[in-house]
A and B are shown apart, each in its own frame.
Chain A
Amino acid sequence: MNTKILLEHLYIVFASVIVSIAAGLPLGVMASLYRPLRKPILWISELLQTVPALALLGLVMLVVGAGKTTVIIGLLLYSLLPIVHNTYLGLETIDQGIKRAARGMGMSRLDRLFSVELPLSFPMIFTGIRIATVTSVGIAVFATSVGGGGLGSIINQGIRTQNMKLILSGTLTLMAMAVIFDGVMALIEKRLNKRVSA
C-alpha cells in the first residue's frame, strides 16, 4: 500500500471537512438567527445531499476543472447538510430558561451566541462533524474519477487489472479509516456531552 495515496485521501477528507465547518457553521447560525433565511438554508443543504455524489463531483469538475479542488468543493457541498443541520438544531434546542436568563442579565445577541449558545451546542455540532467526516471518507473514493487521487485510485486500478488483492487492500483501508474516525470521534462526543449537560 502506497503511503502517499493514503495521505492524499486523508488530506482530501480533512480539507473538505474543515471547509465544510467554515461554511456550515455560519450557515447554521444564520438559519437559527434569521427566520427568513431558515427555510432556504436548510432546504438547499438538504437538496445538495440528494444529488448522487459522482454526479455532483462531475458537475463541479465542469466548472472548476479536474483536480483536488474539485473534490474538496464537491465534498464540501455534500458535508454541508449534517453540519448546518446540527448547528441549527443545537441552537434551537437550548433550554428556554437558559436563553431567558442570558437575555435578562444583559448579554447582547452576539455575546449570548458566543458565550452560551454555541458552547452549549458544540456537542451537537461535533456530531455533525463526525457524520460529515465519516461520509467523506467513503465519498472521497470518487476523487479519482475527477483527477483527485486517493484510495479510489487503488480500487480502480484493482478493478482494471482484475487484481483482487489490490481491491481488497483499498477497501479494507477505507473501512478501517471510517471505523477509526467514527470510534474516536464518538468517544470525544461522549465527553463533550457530559460537560454541558445541565
Chain B
Amino acid sequence: MIRFEEVVKKYGDAVILDQISFEIKEGEFAVLIGPSGCGKTTTLKTINRLIEPEAGRIYVEGKDIMDANPVQLRRKIGYVIQEIGLFPNMTVAQNIAVVPKRLKYSKEEIEQITRDLLDMVNMSYEEYAHKYPSELSGGQQQRIGVLRALAASPPIVLMDEPFGALDPMTRNVLQDEIIRLHKKLKKTIVFVTHDMDEALKLADTIIFMDQGKIVQMAGPDEMLENPASDLIKQFMGKRLSENGVNSLTAADFMKSHPASAYRSDGVKKSTQIMARRQIDTLLIKNEDETYAGSVTIGNIRKFGKQAQTIGEIPVTPNAVSYTKDDAADSFEKLLDSDSDFVVVLHDNDTIAGIVTKTSMARAMADALWGDES
C-alpha cells in the first residue's frame, strides 16, 4: 500500500508536485499518466526517495518512508526504468542477483530464483543466464530489467515508462507479460506512461496528472465514460478514434520530416529553405518544438519586407491530425480544407509529418500492393 498526503515538491520557485494526495491499494496496478513534464517521474521517484519532497508525507506499507534508511527502503521496492540500466559488466544472472545478494540470500536460493524468473518469461536459464546484456535484444534486456526488479520479491514495483523505447510489437508482448506477472505475483505496481492505450490496457486504476496535480483517479472504464477534463478527453479521444487493430492511422499516411522553421528564424533563411525544397508553404515551430502554424509564400511576399523573423509573419491555420488519429479523419480534413496538406502532430504537439494527396496515394499503393517483403 502506498499513500501520499499533500506532497509538495519544488525546484526553486517552480512547483512540480502541488499538494498531491492519493492512495494505491495493495496488489493494485496503478498507472500514472499525463502530458510530458506534468510530474509523473518526480512522483515515482519520491516513493523510493530518489527525490525528497519539501512537504507532505508518504507512507509505504503503513510506514512513513522518511523514517526508513533510503538504501534499505529501495531494496524492498523494485525499480524499472526506460533506459533499462542493466550493468554491462555483469551477466544476466549477476544482474538479477544484485538485490538478493545484498540482502544476503544464499547462493542456492539466488540460483533458484534466477531460474524461476527466467522461466516465467520463457527464457532458458542454460541459454541466457551467463550472457552479457550486450548480447541480448532490447526486448530481452528489458525483460531482464523487470526480472531484476522482482528478484528479491519486493511488494511494490515502480516502473517509469519501461516499454517506451521498445518497438510497438515488442512493447505489446512485454505488456502482456507484465499483466501475466502481475496476476501471478500480486505486486503493487506503479507504472508511468504517456500512452493512453498502454494505460487502459494495464491499469486497475489510472491516475491522470497535469501540472503537478492529480486531475482524475479512476478505473479505465470510468475514465473512458466520464473523463474529468478536456485534456483527459483529448488523451482518450486519440485512442477512441482508433477502432479496431487494423485501422490505419494518420502516421501511416504521412510524409515525415516536412520543411519547417522556428519562429525566431530569419525571413531570408526561411525563403531559402522553401526555394531549395520547392514548396510554397513552410511549417512554423515555437521554440519548444511545438507546432505554431504555417506561412505561405504569399504572406511572406506581403509582410516579409517589414519582418525580421518568420515568426512575425501571420500564420495560416492548417487542418491538424494527431499521429494516432484514424487515417480517414485526415483524408476528410484534407479534402475539406483548401490547403494542400494536413499537419500531423505527435501527442506533445511537435510536428510528426504532413499528409498530402501524394503521400496518401503512395501509402495506399503500399497498402494495396504491399511492401510486405
- Given A97-B81, A105-B75, CB of A198 within 8 Å of CB of B98: no
Of B66-74, B247-255, B317-325, the segment with at least 4 beta carbons within 8 Å of chain A is B66-74
> Are B89 and A105 within 8 A (Cβ)?
no
- Given A105-B75, A197-B134, CB of A116 within 8 Å of CB of B84: no
CB of A103 within 8 A of chain B? yes
Return chain A residues, CB-CB under 8 Å to B83: 95-98, 100-101
CB-nearest residue of chain B to A109:
B71
> Are A98 and B85 within 8 A (Cβ)?
yes
A111 to B98, CA, bound (A): 11
A101 to B98, CA, bound (A): 11
> Are A108 and B71 within 8 A (Cβ)?
yes
Return chain B residues, CB-CB under 8 Å to A97: 81-85
Within the complex, the shortest CB–CB distance from A58 to chain B, in Å, comes to: 43
How many residues of A are counted as interface, with CB atoms below 8 angstroms from the partner's CB atoms? 23
> Are B133 and A101 within 8 A (Cβ)?
no
A197 to B132, CA, bound (A): 10
Return chain B residues, CB-CB under 8 Å to A96: 83
Within the complex, the shortest CB–CB distance from B61 to chain A, in Å, comes to: 16
Return chain A residues, CB-CB under 8 Å to B71: 106-108
A102 to B85, CA, bound (A): 8
> Are A198 and B88 within 8 A (Cβ)?
yes
> Are A106 and B73 within 8 A (Cβ)?
yes
CB of A36 within 8 A of chain B? no
Return chain A residues, CB-CB under 8 Å to B132: 195
A98 to B73, CA, bound (A): 19
- The count of A-to-B residue pairs whose CB atoms sit within 8 angstroms is 75
> Are B79 and A101 within 8 A (Cβ)?
yes
- Which residue in B88, B99, B133 is a CB contact (below 8 Å) of A105? B99
Within the complex, the shortest CB–CB distance from A51 to chain B, in Å, comes to: 37
Greatest chain B CB density within 10 A among A98, A105, A108 is at A105
CB-nearest residue of chain A to B85:
A101
Describe A's contact surface by its main secondary structure: helix
- Which residue in B70, B82, B87, B149 is a CB contact (below 8 Å) of A102? B87
Within the complex, the shortest CB–CB distance from A18 to chain B, in Å, comes to: 24
- Which residue in B72, B84, B133 is a CB contact (below 8 Å) of A106? B72
CB of A119 within 8 A of chain B? yes
Return chain A residues, CB-CB under 8 Å to B79: 101, 104-105
Greatest chain B CB density within 10 A among A98, A106, A120 is at A106
Interface string of A157-196 (1 = CB under 8 A from B): 0000000000000000000000000000000000000011
CB-nearest residue of chain B to A98:
B85
A100 to B86, CA, bound (A): 10
> Are A106 and B89 within 8 A (Cβ)?
no
Return chain B residues, CB-CB under 8 Å to A105: 74-75, 79, 98-99, 148-149
Return chain B residues, CB-CB under 8 Å to A103: 50, 74
> Are B81 and A101 within 8 A (Cβ)?
yes
Q: Pick 9 A–B contacts, CB within 8 A, sort by A.
A: A98-B85, A98-B88, A101-B83, A105-B79, A105-B99, A106-B102, A107-B102, A116-B89, A198-B88
- Per CB-CB distance, the 7 closest pairs between chain A and chain B, nearest first, are A97-B83, A101-B85, A106-B74, A106-B75, A104-B79, A97-B85, A119-B89
| Interface contacts beyond A97-B81, A106-B75, A195-B89: sample of 10 additional A-B pairs, CB < 8 Å, sorted by A | A98-B88, A101-B87, A102-B85, A104-B158, A105-B74, A105-B149, A106-B76, A108-B71, A116-B89, A119-B89
